[in-house]
A and B are shown apart, each in its own frame.
Chain A
Amino acid sequence: MTGGDPLAPERAISVAGAPDGVRAVGPVDEGELTHLLQHASATSQKVAVWGGGTHRRIGYDEPPDLVVSTLGLAGIIDWEPDDLTVVVGAGTTVTDLEGELGTRQQSAVLAEWPGGGTVGGAVASATSGYRRLRYGPIRDRLLEVRAVTGDGRVVKGGARVVKSVTGYDLPRLYTGSLGSLGVITSVCLKLWPLTEAVATVRVDTPEAAGAVHRPLAVLETREGVTVLLAGTAAEVQAQLSALGGAHRSCLDYPPPPTGEVSWSIRVRPSLLTVAVSRLPPGSPFVAQHGVGEVTFATTNSFEISDLRSWAEESGGAVVRVAGEGSADPWGTPPSTLPLQRRVVAAFDPARVLEPGRLPGRI
């Protein structure tokens, strides 16, 4: 810890995309963050936690008094390739991390279209990527988390081993917490070896993917349905034979749909085809079959309420993931709101970190 003062005038930085006129700072270690957040708590300053700025549109948008960039917390801290784990600073971009891991034929299977997004942002926003059908959501791949709480306490949860039941599961609690429980400073992630062979196959229906055991992803867009395969050369060849159809020997990840606003529909997987049938005509979308998520883009005048009512009545949700709009970004908050509020207060008593951003405006 340097214990430097990131609030010193000469340390002011500019953060692309941050609101105009709001002070932005870039702490470089946990000591500086502690100092910064103690100060913010003492002076009741609302803090926005900013990585690559790629997930800012998730949740309610409360104007901050201070923008804290995590880009100064970048870099691989510990990587033992034979353990298939990596400890990485939260401000490391997904692209940089995956690039480095790729030099040893490994991957953290983070989102395939990360933009300038950071590893900390991927965890804080619970962004899992298309390959979660095989590798699970990001919350299942996070082994250890370190964070500085709203009142400046440095806390760690989990362990740097692939299997641990030592204490409460803070890594999962921090996953998707959107900065409200603390500024994540580093994480330990589980890695996977990149496979020998890959392929993308076009099929007629999502159900056709049932011919193969555990594909990497089954994705549907306006252009049709593809099954993504990965494994040994013989395995991929056998799966290609089972599926038939045209294929390419690469992983063809569709880009995220873009428009004035993007929504994520989350329902149990068997309802995905119904969800797709309810999308506004012509809107670009990516449906992750087997997972239960459809992301689609539309105009900000699109009325989300019918779709949302249907999803919520089916036990799911419709959540804004990008863009602008007047519609509520979360919909109905969870029934455990009072408990959620207590948990947030335990980590951020003065409620300075992303106040109001979570469902229920916690």
Chain B
Amino acid sequence: MELHSAGEDAIIVYLGHATSPEVAARVQAAVTAVTQTLGPDLVDLVPSYASLLIIYDPLQTDHLSVSHRVRAALQSLQAADMDAGRTVILPVYYAPESGEDLEALAANAGLSIEEVIALHSGSEYRVYAIGFAPGFAYLGQVDERIAAPRLATPRQKVPRGAVAIADRQTAVYPATSPGGWNLIGRCPTRMFDPDASPTMPVNVGDRVRFEPINREQFLTLGGELG
């Protein structure tokens, strides 16, 4: 475990150096431990792949006290329960009309479209981080055979619900936005709805499975094309 002062009101803790379910489970366990130990001095937390950014109130406490308490709390961190978190099923309509890069990605990988779909929907993913935009969940790890680098020129407009791959990460775009990931399908489930409770179907630490659906099912579930 490494701990550093990150700014006037923040420290960052590293619980590993690479993306793995074990490190992610430790990050999750650290979220719970830090929340308990800092109580009202804690302002916000940003868990990510291998780190936890801890934001505190610098007018109530200081980095020495926070570092000391966090170190003590994490020393006794139990080997986290890797099965914690829920499993969420997200339906996906995989097709060239819903995923503009599906054909190119398959061709580059030397696979058929059906094989790409089978590989993408055949793995269970973990929610490693949420950020970039409200509700944008970084899921990993994608099978190496369908990993693909970001587009050289990002698109100005990626539609809401787009299911995409970048390197060994995959995600569902929560809102229409610019983006450089490879689009392979469309998910009708809203990933971020400020008026819904909960606002997101997934949390960091949850597991996600993608379930292939056809065009008709996609439209029935409220999906939109175009």
**Is chain B a partner of chain A in the same complex?**
no
Binding site for A on B (CB under 8 A): none
